[in-house]
Structure 1
Amino acid sequence: MVFACQRDSFLKEFKSTVLSCTPSELETTVNGKKEIVKGYEVILDDTILFPEGGGQPCDQGLLGDVEVIQVTRRGTQAVHFAVQPVPEGSVVDQHLDWNRRLDHMQQHSGQHLISALGETVFKYPTTSWWLGTDTSYIELDTSSLTQSEVDEWEKLANEKIRAALPVAVTVYERDDPSLSEAHTRGLPDDHVGPVRVITIEGVDTNMCCGTHVNNLSQLQVIKMLHFEKGKKNKINLHFLVGNRVLNQMATLMKRESSLTTLLKNSPNVHVELVDKLQKSLKVTNKKLATVLKELAVYEAQKLLSLSPRPKLYVLHKNEGDADYMRVFINEVGDQKETLFLITVGDEKGAGQMTMYGDPELIAELGHKICEILDGKGAGKGQKFQAKVSNLAKRNEAVKLIKKHFESCGIAV
């Protein structure tokens, strides 16, 4: 079946009859976590909500005032997953999420144009493509690509857009010999009924079930982003089309404005100023590392001068790092009479810890102290090391060590 959304991709509202509505569940991802959503599978006599296919995600919208969050194709039917039931036999008003549809049409039609030019001009066939939420890419059957080719590719694509070439949809029966002239990577195994062919005048003829613009001018502009090595010795070429280019431009302008405020200079010297700051920061960090090592040596010498030596020595340095703790322990040497608890980082937040001393004490207390400080780590012999996320509990950790010493009859 050719749906209303495929007959006219610019329909935003449509009336249809509800053929069935059955309870169902949908596995979806919310904030990066998989969740099971309860809802209803609704089948209509026709739809303007495109079911996913051809590399294009599904549409979203409303059936009356009921939200549709997914549409899939099942044979000749489009199955709408609605969050509430819709009465069977009723006539409902479909309302399309137009911004989502327009975005998908621009990316999809843009992909057809990019892939066609890649194959005819540069001899790089497209083997697959991905329409992402932020950017899209095509997978090219080549192991090499140059920036000069990409620049020329982008130029040619935008010339076709400025030429406002028509984009036409023709529907054929599956056994029509005219289909032999259309490009395709193959129809789905469960495809039945008529076949749609998308033609960009003078550029490409391609079988496709997706929704498309009527004219290349509706793409507005294409911007090639970057390319990278993909799977099986292929190349992925990333791109933006239409409103995504404008949105990206707005984001970049906002970022440039913020940098101009921070750097207190014009945008044309941003790179130069950031380069200077990075070099200055590198020098400063090197000096800080030297000072911290000297402080670690000083702290160790101060401890070694104590008589008698303490049974417990607690040391914290906000600006310290793993090297600071390592230098301190190296300077202290092979100590077993003192148990050291050394921490570095945000005194009320995340950081690192090292316990150092008698192996029996380390085995007994290491994991317990690590757990108090909300960390993960491991110990061996005289040392236990961990990354921790709650240094605000250091006093609680010290109390546990002192309590252990008291239970062993050791005065701290």
Structure 2
Amino acid sequence: MATAVLLPSPTPPDYHRIVSPTLRVSDDPEIPIPVGILACQRDPLLRSLDTSVVAASVSQPEPPPAKKPTKKAVIAPAIPSDPLIEVILHDTVIFPEGGGQPTDTGIITTVADGAVWEVVQAKRHGGHAVHYVRVASGDTDKALLAFAPGASVTVALGQSGFDRRYDHMSMHTSQHLLSALLETRLELPTLSWSLTTYPSPCYVEIPRGMTPEEITSIQNEANRLVFEGRRVHVEVEELDRTQEKPAPKLQSGRAVGKGLPDDYTGGVKRVVVIDGVDRNPCCGTHLPSLHNLQLFLLPHTDALARSTTTNARLYFLVGPRLIAHLTSSHNLLTNTATILSCGAPQVPDRVNQVVDERKRAEKRRDDVEAELARHLADELVKEMAQVPEGGLHKRHLHRTDDSANVLGFLSAISFAFTNAAASTANPHLVVLTSSPSSQSASSTTVVLLFGSDDKKVKEAGEGLKSRLGVKGGGKGTKWSGKYTGVWREAKESATLQGLLGGF
């Protein structure tokens, strides 16, 4: 994963602001701090924390869903097959999934024995952050003993965990910025958003598509605020559910955003503030300054057809994902320029030139194939003229051809033959086969059978199936199929000749 160019500065002391006079962060090690004022939410750049265990239990696998699962908004890491235990700590730097932001991963070190345990994911249960800890040895009893209530531990993100967190924070904070600008500048509410898997661009869903001019204006405004380095802080107060309002809805009935989860029992309300730009309730982790976002990019929009309206996805890249995108794009452009033997600025013109040349080459190829098809058909008609009147003209013609559309070429021969033989009434039964120049046990030989009598064509097709194992079918006076394997003159062609000889 690409990392940000600038190292983040420490979180300012006024980033986390408790605005309720009765709310405080508990220092009782036997009480878990609720989701909303966890250490990862108070200081999003904190990488490790000394804390203690409140509770631990063996994790029971969730039963399979009774119906088809719906698409999840957040992307959880793959769960290992090893047993897991669920650990609740007094406090943590590992963020449990929520607010559209995926879970963090990290490690826990038990101080008593110095053992390091992998945290594969964290989830919010009610108001508590639950760590899913991998038991690599499979000995859950030993793990539960190590995580006995009161045990001292160090919980940390680790480098990979912090890179993951920094990426999520960058995208999440930029989504708040983007949604605020869309609503205040263009009156476009954010219906939903998705924090996709790195390094894909994330997106917000909006009620309509945007013009290129609108996209440019929002992008320019976002970049201006990024370069100004607008500060971000969090305000926290006690939650009064009686004052909470449901998410607003559009005329179509589609909700704008999401309300507070019904199972949230933490009793804390958290509002993320971008100075002079946005105030928005959110439980996720956010960077303390827009400076850390670096550049902001809106690549494109995709229309989404709904039953009542047409929504659109507006994609964006920022921070580590933008760096990965620019690096990948630069490498692709450089490699393409090398292949085309030109400088990067000349790539579009050179690609257009190559496309034009390919179209002309395809036209020449089609013309040559059509001419060759007519020539082969004329030869078959001449041979048919040598057959005594009323006799059945039986012919097998085999070709070696590496064309991408072998059946099309064989069909062109049959059409040309039919047109050329229209003035004659001689009955005929013709089999055309074509194999690639390099053959193996998995090679495919295309077979096309046509004739003047649909009954004979059907009978010959059945013979190709039974004698050569050709898979195919047809209707009327044409039958086509494929033979898998090496086509040999002495065996497969001889067998086909014998089949024709029976008519």
Given the two structures, how large is their TM-score scaled by the length of structure 1?
Answer: 0.82
Residue equivalent to 2:123: 72
Q: Aligned to 2:186, what secondary structure does the other structure show?
A: coil
* Structure 2 residue 270 is matched with structure 1 residue 196: yes
Q: Aligned to 2:298, what secondary structure does the other structure show?
A: strand
Cα deviation, 1:100-159, whole Å, max 9, x if unaligned, reads 111111001000000001111111111111111211111112x34211111110111111
Structure of higher RCO (CA pairs closer than 8 Å, 6+ residues apart): 2
Residue equivalent to 1:259: 336
Structure 1 residues 357-366 or 110-119, which shifts more?
A: 357-366
CA RMSD between the two structures: 3.6
Q: 1:82-121 residue pairs with structure 2 within 5 A?
A: 82-84=133-135, 87-89=143-145, 90=147, 91-96=152-157, 97-121=161-185
Q: Of 336, 353, 362, which aligns to 2:446? A: 353
Residue equivalent to 1:380: 475
Residue equivalent to 2:31: none
Residue equivalent to 2:402: 318
Q: Aligned to 1:257, what secondary structure does the other structure show?
A: helix
After superposition, the Cα gap between the structure-2 partners of 1:108 and 1:36, relative to the gap in structure 1 and judged at 3 Å, is closer
Cα displacement (A) at 1:175: 0.8
Residue equivalent to 2:487: 395
Residue equivalent to 1:59: 104
Residue equivalent to 2:363: 286
Residue equivalent to 2:61: 24
Q: 1:89-168 residue pairs with structure 2 within 5 A?
A: 89=145, 90=147, 91-96=152-157, 97-133=161-197, 134-141=200-207, 143-168=208-233
Percent identity reads 28
Gaps of 5+ in 2: 1-33, 72-77, 110-115, 249-256, 388-392, 422-426, 451-456
- Does the 8 Å contact 2:443/2:485 carry over to 1? no
- Does the 8 Å contact 1:25/1:36 carry over to 2? no
Q: Distance in 2 between matches of 1:122 and 1:409?
A: 74
Q: Aligned to 1:165, what secondary structure does the other structure show?
A: coil
Residue equivalent to 1:296: 373
- Does the 8 Å contact 1:25/1:38 carry over to 2? no
Q: Aligned to 1:48, what secondary structure does the other structure show?
A: coil
* Structure 2 residue 292 is matched with structure 1 residue 218: yes
Cα deviation, 1:270-304, whole Å, max 9, x if unaligned, reads 21111111111111110011111222223333444
Q: Distance in 1 between matches of 2:172 and 2:204?
A: 11
Structure 1 residues 164-173 or 277-286, which shifts more?
A: 164-173
After superposition, the Cα gap between the structure-2 partners of 1:109 and 1:361, relative to the gap in structure 1 and judged at 3 Å, is same
Q: Aligned to 1:187, what secondary structure does the other structure show?
A: coil
Residue equivalent to 2:44: 9
Greater helix percent: which structure? 1
Q: Aligned to 1:24, what secondary structure does the other structure show?
A: coil
Residue equivalent to 1:374: none
Letter matched to residue 314 of structure 1: H
After superposition, the Cα gap between the structure-2 partners of 1:271 and 1:93, relative to the gap in structure 1 and judged at 3 Å, is same
Which stretches of structure 1, 4 residues or longer, exceed 6 Å deviation after superposition?
25-29, 176-180, 349-352
After superposition, the Cα gap between the structure-2 partners of 1:103 and 1:320, relative to the gap in structure 1 and judged at 3 Å, is closer
Q: Distance in 1 between matches of 2:172 and 2:105?
A: 17
After superposition, the Cα gap between the structure-2 partners of 1:398 and 1:336, relative to the gap in structure 1 and judged at 3 Å, is farther
After superposition, the Cα gap between the structure-2 partners of 1:393 and 1:101, relative to the gap in structure 1 and judged at 3 Å, is same
Cα deviation, 1:185-227, whole Å, max 9, x if unaligned, reads 3112212221221111111111111111111111112111111
Structure 1 residues 362-371 or 217-226, which shifts more?
A: 362-371
Letter matched to residue 94 of structure 1: V
Residue equivalent to 2:22: none
Greater strand percent: which structure? 1
Q: Of 81, 98, 104, which aligns to 1:38? A: 81
Q: Distance in 2 between matches of 1:205 and 1:345?
A: 68
Q: Aligned to 1:162, what secondary structure does the other structure show?
A: helix
- Does the 8 Å contact 1:108/1:131 carry over to 2? yes
Residue equivalent to 2:319: 242
Q: Aligned to 1:330, what secondary structure does the other structure show?
A: helix
Letter matched to residue 190 of structure 1: D
Letter matched to residue 88 of structure 1: L
Cα displacement (A) at 1:266: 2.1
Q: Aligned to 2:315, what secondary structure does the other structure show?
A: strand
Residue equivalent to 1:32: none
Cα displacement (A) at 1:323: 2.9
Letter matched to residue 125 of structure 2: R
After superposition, the Cα gap between the structure-2 partners of 1:339 and 1:259, relative to the gap in structure 1 and judged at 3 Å, is closer
Letter matched to residue 295 of structure 2: V
After superposition, the Cα gap between the structure-2 partners of 1:278 and 1:208, relative to the gap in structure 1 and judged at 3 Å, is same
Q: Distance in 2 between matches of 1:209 and 1:330?
A: 69
After superposition, the Cα gap between the structure-2 partners of 1:49 and 1:275, relative to the gap in structure 1 and judged at 3 Å, is same
Cα displacement (A) at 1:382: 4.1
* Structure 2 residue 337 is matched with structure 1 residue 337: no
Letter matched to residue 138 of structure 1: V
- Does the 8 Å contact 1:365/1:401 carry over to 2? no
Q: Distance in 2 between matches of 1:50 and 1:350?
A: 54
Cα deviation, 1:211-261, whole Å, max 9, x if unaligned, reads 111111111121111112124312211110111111111111111211221
Gaps of 5+ in 1: 30-34, 372-376
Q: Distance in 2 between matches of 1:262 and 1:227?
A: 31
Q: Distance in 2 between matches of 1:12 and 1:211?
A: 13
Report how many aligned residue pairs link the two structures: 396
After superposition, the Cα gap between the structure-2 partners of 1:330 and 1:394, relative to the gap in structure 1 and judged at 3 Å, is farther
Cα displacement (A) at 1:47: 3.3
Q: Distance in 2 between matches of 1:275 and 1:146?
A: 27
Q: Distance in 1 between matches of 2:210 and 2:92?
A: 41
Cα displacement (A) at 1:59: 1.7
Q: Distance in 1 between matches of 2:337 and 2:310?
A: 41
Q: Aligned to 2:271, what secondary structure does the other structure show?
A: strand
